[in-house]
Amino acid sequence: MRVLVVEDSERLVEVLTAGLKRGGHAVHAVPDVAGANAALLATHFDVAVVDVGLPDGSGLDWCRSARAHGHDVPILLLTARNALGDRVAGLDAGADDYLAKPFAMDELLARLRALARRGPRWSESVRRFGGLAIDRDRRTVTHEGARLPLTAREFDIVSLLAWRDGRVASRDEIVESVWGTSSDKTMASFDVLLARVRRKLGTRGLGDAVRTVRGVGYAWGLEVSKRA
């Protein structure tokens, strides 16, 4: 099982990593929201262990953002608070389970195994839109069997929009998710990459795949024809 750990305490990361590896699991640990966003875009994870308190944002807000961007990884929240209201807030934010500190490693491992058995909320790693296929695992986009030459970040933009089921993503949301930070430089880079994405899709007659919603952001304009 591949586990994403989002935790800024070096000591707790050491404990979690050691316990998870003893259980036979692969671990990728990041200390903040920006690292978590980048990791989700780059790699498939079976489960995520996320601290509520992070240096650059709230784990609850990250859960909401991850779900809004179509990420389906099962999430276990870690928190120092265990009141009913805190647990409800975590689940409402999109988490699948909630564990209060301090916790026993055996319980954490059991909960993660249960989440992994349950699987992701949306199981498909490939989405098809007519002759267009987007494969998140292989990080490829093909049309009628021909591969589109997208860069890594161009793929991230396409994948993010395609998994939102037509919901609009703001320019800031896309930039923060793809680059992990928002600045004048990353905004300018996004504009360039989006134009390239549209041009590459346009060469295949798919110029309407990315819609501009004026004053709001961008949305995927193609309808899913088959889930795989």
List the CATH number of the domain containing 188.
1.10.10.10
Total Cβ atoms within 10 A of residue 51: 24
Task: Tell me whether residue 14 is exposed, middle or buried, using C-beta atoms within 10 angstroms of its C-beta: 0 to 12, 13 to 18, 19 or more.
Answer: exposed
The whole-chain average pLDDT of the chain stands at 86
Query: Do 48 and 65 lie in a common domain?
Result: yes
Measured between alpha carbons, how far is residue 175 from residues 83, 105, 113, 194 in Å?
Answer: 35, 36, 33, 11
Q: What is the pLDDT of residue 211?
A: 94
Q: Residues 84, 135: one domain?
A: no
Domain carrying residue 151? 126-227
What residues in the chain have per-residue pLDDT under 70? 70, 82-84, 118-124, 226-228
Q: Are residues 138 and 59 in the same domain?
A: no
pLDDT value at residue 163: 83
CA–CA separation, 32 vs 58, rounded Å?
A: 9
- pLDDT at position 20: 94
pLDDT at position 175, please? 87
Same-domain check for residues 193 and 112: no
pLDDT for position 21? 92
Q: Distance from first CA to last CA of the chain, Å, rounded?
A: 21
The domain boundary, picked from 95, 118, 141, lies at: 118
Regarding whether 154 and 59 lie in a shared domain, the answer is no
CB 211 within 8 A of CB 172: no
Buried b (16+ CB within 10 A) or exposed e, 111-123: bbeebbeeebeee
Q: What is the pLDDT of residue 126?
A: 83
> Are both 38 and 97 inside the same structural domain?
yes
